[in-house]
Structure 1
Amino acid sequence: MKTKSVNKGIILTIMTALLLAIPGVALGADPTVESNAIAIDTIWTLIAGFLVFFMQAGFAMVEAGFTRAKNAGNIIMKNLMDFSIGSIIYWLFGFAIMFGIDKAGLFGTTGFGMSDTFEHLGLSIPLPAFLLFQTVFAATAATIVSGAMAERTKFISYMIYSFVISAIIYPVVGHWIWGGGWLMERGMIDFAGSTVVHSVGGWAALIGALLIGPRVGKYTKDGKSHAIPGHNITLGALGVFILWFGWFGFNPGSTLSGTNPDIGKIALNTNLAAAAGAAMTMIFTWLKYKKPDVSLTLNGALAGLVAITAGCLAVDPLGAAVIGALAGILIVLSVEFIDQVLKIDDPVGAISVHGVCGCFGTIMVGAFAVDGGLLYGGGSALLITQLIGVASVFAWTAVTSLILFGIIKATLGLRVSEEEEVMGLDIGEHGMEAYSGFEMKAPSVNL
């Protein structure tokens, strides 16, 4: 009996010492419900931010897979550097423009270089965690443009563009809708950025691709479009799956709260829209072209994801599936129109996926929102607000991008030489090959 008592005493002593050594459990520390909630919300936001960061790999794989092998290294370099440059400039300037205090609802004017506490935001998580989460969103907007201008853009010109969009173009839109600006005051709903992130990138891509012109050999003399297949559809598919995975951080993470029960609904709506987008694109291309198109179906999944990003919290699962399915049809029609009617060369379909479907998804919130949507008895007020927001963002992004790309084109130049383009940007811009040692098939005439 004495031995048992001694052993029991030793065990109690050890357990007490361990408890005292654990922060928040030690006597006198007494964790509160509030402090636990802050910890959970912070961890959730950071994990979601890490998922969104991983989307950079997805964008890189999609763009590299959908384009030719001779430009793969250049594409990887652009995706690496637009995030690196964007992270620094957004920290110094972009975040303050987006979330600083303003007087006219147009852009923030305080907190440059993170010189403010941003207490007016009323955050429930530490400011550095919020900054990181917003940084990966800004980088997403910048990297969208890379695909539409792939295979013929000067590397230095792309770097300048990435700097400006991360510092000014994207943050101004973010302020209007998320930072307390005039569209936020009006009641516009863009929960995770169909317009703030995706349409900004998509419309900038439209202007960039328009000004730089099509790739050599893309259109015949009579204007007929000539398909230029990507070199690795498997790599492109991997990129789409990575993006789909990352979107579970993009949308649910925008709650900034791991204790918010809506994260389950948002994740479900996100998945349903992506699945419906891919399924509808497959069916539509099967009927239209007599065979299901692989690359368009991959973009169909992305179209559904982009479209639901604005209303992932506002709509119900049925609405999410319908929005995704409609986006799956729209992506096919948009790609054809931009390529064959407008004669704008977009190698990866970025304009259609992000610009067109981003705007479409934002507008659809006005119809499908359970609270205030036209189809749910809410009248037309929200729909009108969504239309105003989409039009305003298009005007801002198109005009500023036109000025930016116009200046770059007139000074440094946007485009590499024809010789460099035919040889490949890996050699011309970086002096290396992505697939060194592999024998490449001889290119067709003018390719």
Structure 2
Amino acid sequence: MKQKLSGLVAALALAALPAAAQDAAATPETAEVAAAAVEAVSADVVFIFNTLLFLIGGFLVMWMAAGFAMLEAGLVRSKNVTTQLFKNVSLFAIAGIMYWLIGYNLMYPGDGWTVNGVIGQLFSPKSLDPAGAGDVTAGYSAGSDFFFQLMFCATTASIVSGTLAERVKLWPFMIFTVILTGLIYPIEASWQWGGGFLSEMGFSDFAGSTLVHATGGFAALAGAIVLGARYGKYRPDGRMQPMPGSNLALATLGTFILWLGWFGFNGASQLAIGSVNDAADVSRIFVNTNMAASAGAIAAILTTQLAFGKIDLTMVLNGALAGLVSITAEPLTPSIFASVLIGGIGGAIAVLAVPILDRLKIDDVVGAIPVHLVAGIWGTLIVPATNPDTSYVTQAIGVAAIGAFTFVVSFVIWTILKATTGVRVDREAEISGLDITEMGMEAYPDFVQAK
């Protein structure tokens, strides 16, 4: 404690040295020492604030895992809630291990590319700064960066979970999660954030509309196609059978948790808050993120009223999320008005994408494909409208490259799993519910009639 107090006193004294030197008509040598001391203190302060930004942003994004769990638990039927909660816990744990073991250095290889600009360092576990020895010159701690980036990896896997709910086997899902978090996500994300070929082309995706959200959406789409629709979802006459979720209160809570977590998702992606300009930019990102979410919800309200004659709460929840996904590719440069337009259009197209998927008989239980894939693509393609350093052609190339890679690899993996372990529970298990057949326990046992 004494050491910490003495350090604080020293820092304050060093910060006051220029004024003292001026008052005492100090020599040039004294002034030079004072300037060097102030610069050292300034570097420490920048390191501390940047590290705090990563840590606070990281735990806000980690809280989004609870949001996904609550949203999915509310949108699946009561007989599948326990299974959905388990998947959200297990995928988060798998992501933590795989991102440490393979993913981080595969995504951020530095000069150690296995295939230059395409594949980073394989099987190179992440290490931290030695205890008590932070590297001030890096600008932030290694641990805070790893923690923050890991949360994005886990988010990608959460997107897949909701789409495939109510009929996917647990072990094949977890095997796919291992591959998604350890290989697929880190490889495609390295193309931009790791300094890969898309970064060199000028592609821009500030916080991951495509790198995170559309990637999860493409993986979910591949899984939904291989897995097939839930039993009874699409009737022989072509009509869609609604399958309402178990608890819209939980779904609404999950949406608000995700909305809150998104401030860490986008805000901390500024990657610095050690200067006045960075602090102002983080604030700007917060405002734009919130306005896009608000516009997405309002757009969903209007769209569902006009298209279906009544407001659909689940669509409104997904509209807010689609607005958040849309602004994620570029939350800094838009004005508030532009953010409202971007988020509002994202919310509307997410609503309109739902009946298209139903016509194609692609069963997405929670609407993750319209929210994360469709709105993610929209948000990435519209970046040049507010960011003059990008181009529509480059943005389209980036979306196409990431989409093709993720979808094809995911489709192959799901197909292999289907041919080997099988990916879908049998019809009897699906009708009875996965909580009993896969987990052996129910989320709401008190509401089940005794047999």
Task: Report deviation, 1:440.
Answer: 6.5
Match of 1:336 in 2: 355
Match of 1:241 in 2: 256
Task: Report deviation, 1:368.
Answer: 3.0
Match of 2:210 in 1: 195
Asked if 1:400 is matched to 2:409, the reply is yes
Match of 1:141 in 2: 156
Match of 2:385 in 1: 367
Task: Report deviation, 1:289.
Answer: 1.5
Q: Which digits, 9 at most, give the CA deviation of each residue in 1:106-160, with x for residues without a partner?
A: 021267112698x9xx842111110110101000001100110000010001100
For 2:60, which of 51, 54, 67 is the aligned residue?
Answer: 51
Asked if 1:109 is matched to 2:121, the reply is yes
Match of 1:24 in 2: 7
Match of 1:11 in 2: none
Matching residue's letter, 2:306: L
Matching residue's letter, 2:119: F
- Residues 295-444 of structure 1 correspond to what in structure 2 (within 5 A)? 295-339=314-358, 341-369=359-387, 371-372=388-389, 382-439=391-448
Task: Report deviation, 1:258.
Answer: 2.6
Distance in 2 (CA, whole Å) between partners of 1:440 and 1:149 is 28
Distance in 2 (CA, whole Å) between partners of 1:297 and 1:441 is 37
Match of 1:160 in 2: 175
Asked if 1:60 is matched to 2:69, the reply is yes
Match of 2:92 in 1: 83
Query: How many equivalent residue pairs?
Result: 412
Distance in 2 (CA, whole Å) between partners of 1:311 and 1:77 is 33
**Percent identity (aligned):** 44
Task: Report deviation, 1:437.
Answer: 1.5
Matching residue's letter, 2:121: T
Distance in 2 (CA, whole Å) between partners of 1:333 and 1:27 is 61
TM-score (norm: length of structure 2): 0.88
Distance in 2 (CA, whole Å) between partners of 1:68 and 1:441 is 19
SS of alignment partner, residue 150 of structure 1: coil
TM-score (norm: length of structure 1): 0.89
Task: Report deviation, 1:314.
Answer: 2.8
Let me know the Cα RMSD of the aligned residues.
Answer: 2.0
Task: Report deviation, 1:26.
Answer: 4.5
**Structure 2 runs not aligned, ≥5 long:** 15-39
Asked if 1:218 is matched to 2:257, the reply is no
For 2:106, which of 79, 91, 97 is the aligned residue?
Answer: 97
SS of alignment partner, residue 7 of structure 2: coil
Task: Report deviation, 1:27.
Answer: 4.3
Match of 1:15 in 2: none
**Structure 1 runs not aligned, ≥5 long:** 1-17, 373-380, 443-447
Contact 1:299 1:331 in 2 (8 A): yes
Q: Which digits, 9 at most, give the CA deviation of each residue in 1:213-267, with x for residues without a partner?
A: 0111101112221110001111100000000000000000111223312001111
Contact 1:420 1:428 in 2 (8 A): yes
Match of 2:291 in 1: 272
SS of alignment partner, residue 205 of structure 2: coil
